Amino acid sequence: MCSILYKLLKSNHILITILNTVSLRVQSVIHSTFVICSSLGISVLSVPYALASGGWLSLIIFFTIAITTLHCAILIKRCMDMDPLIRSYPDIGYKAFGNTGRIVVSIFMNLELYLVSTSFLILEGDNLNKLFSNVGFNFMGLEFGGKQMFIVLVALIILPSVWLDDMRILSYVSASGVFAYLLILASIFWVGAFEGVGFKNNDSKIFRINGVTTSVSLYAFCYCAHPVFPTLYTSMKNKRQFSNVMVICFTICTFTYASVAILSYLMYGSNVESQIPLNLPTDKLILKVAICTTLVNPIAKFALVVTPIMDALRSRFSWFLPNKKAAGLIVSTVLVASNVILALLLPFFGDLMSLVGAFLSATASVILPCLCYLKISGKY
């Protein structure tokens, strides 16, 4: 996720230009919220499933995670205040634990990016299969269902974008993700209020003990932007406002997540799908537009997400592939192919997001900031 935010921070100055007459604090708040929400869009789609898995009482866990991750964001700021040479999340790991810390932080960041990019393919396959159902073909005796076919097709569409050297155009398209998911929120409300679904589903549960682990994992995935906070912090002119900016950003994001989750659960109860667009009807043009809008952003974001991984792999195998252009083509193609294979082997969106949230997001957003702060501050 940090890849998307980093690209936006480097190349997306449109918002700041528009807001150049607004106060510095308001600029910082809106800019920060804008780029954070741009990267965390797909978690908006899965948070209703998290609520359905754990029941209404799991919202207590959700708000607890929000408060905890907010505090960890402030711990990252304190780590950076202790050493002006810290510019990135791996730098914090290096300051705390040397080269081992830098390597561990980098591994968690890149692995998270890899799994998130895979989730984009699953997301595309699910929604395209919903829009164009009963589509499939036979190739050399192998049956490809609609979803599998769309995963491969989307990967072929995405592939040229990962060959690009200049990602600025994709950064601008990706930034529109905020508005895409606001459109989804509006669509959910529209379906509930005006399409006969209503907000009184009797299938909702107070608490589901069997689904708590899934809920916690998906809730943790909602707050996985911590690796980019050092970059965001260094980009601010008035760094003293960082804590206030974080409070406002987390409040806005938490309100958005909770609104989508509660509205969806009131409408569909335990029948909420792993991603909420799969529950929306497609017989209305406006709803088709809303679903299609959510499909554009993962395609644009894919290359931005995997860029740090490709850079690391190119550096690693530079001795084997001295030609830079050829190395980029080979590495990016193999990487996308591996994404496709994993998406076909693990086709359930909710399962993959749970894995990312439980294993990677919780580590990068909670465990590592706490450990690094204790080590750097000398309190441990």
d(CA 186, CA 201) in angstroms, rounded, equals 19
One-letter identity of residue 15 = L
Q: What is the CA radius of gyration of the chain?
A: 21
Contact 354, 214 (CB under 8 A): yes
Global confidence as pTM = 0.81
Neighbours of 49 (CB within 10 A): 27
Please, what are the domains in the chain?
Answer: 2-377 (1.10.4160)
Contact 330, 137 (CB under 8 A): no
pLDDT in tens, 188-218: 888 888 887 888 877 889 999 999 999 999 9
pLDDT of residue 142: 66
Tell whether the model's pLDDT for residue 271 goes beyond 60: yes
Q: Which run of H or of E encompasses 108?
A: helix 89-131
Tell whether the model's pLDDT for residue 22 goes beyond 80: no
pLDDT interval class at 267 (50, 70, 90): very high
The predicted model gives 129-134 an average pLDDT of 79
Token readout for 64 is 């607890």
pLDDT in tens, 73-94: 999 999 999 998 998 899 999 9
Q: What are phi and psi of 24, to 5 degrees?
A: -60, -40
Q: What are the DSSP calls for 273-341, one per residue?
A: -SSGGGGS-SSSHHHHHHHHHHHHHHHHHHHHHHHHHHHHHHHHTTTT---HHHHHHHHHHHHHHHHHH
The total number of residues shown for the chain amounts to 380
Tell whether the model's pLDDT for residue 145 goes beyond 90: no
Q: For residues 182 and 5, which has the higher predicted lDDT (pLDDT)? A: 182
Neighbours of 67 (CB within 10 A): 12
Contact 314, 333 (CB under 8 A): no
Tell whether the model's pLDDT for residue 322 goes beyond 70: no
> Strand pairing partners for 139?
142
Contact 32, 232 (CB under 8 A): yes
Torsional class of 220: left (φ above 0), alpha (ψ -120 to 50), beta (otherwise) = alpha
Q: For residues 345 and 340, which has the higher predicted lDDT (pLDDT)? A: 340
d(CA 139, CA 260) in angstroms, rounded, equals 40
Three-state DSSP class for residue 138: strand
Contact 48, 58 (CB under 8 A): no
pLDDT interval class at 32 (50, 70, 90): low
Q: For residues 314 and 332, which has the higher predicted lDDT (pLDDT)? A: 332
Cα dihedral: 228, 233, 235, 241 (round 10): 140
Three-state DSSP class for residue 379: coil
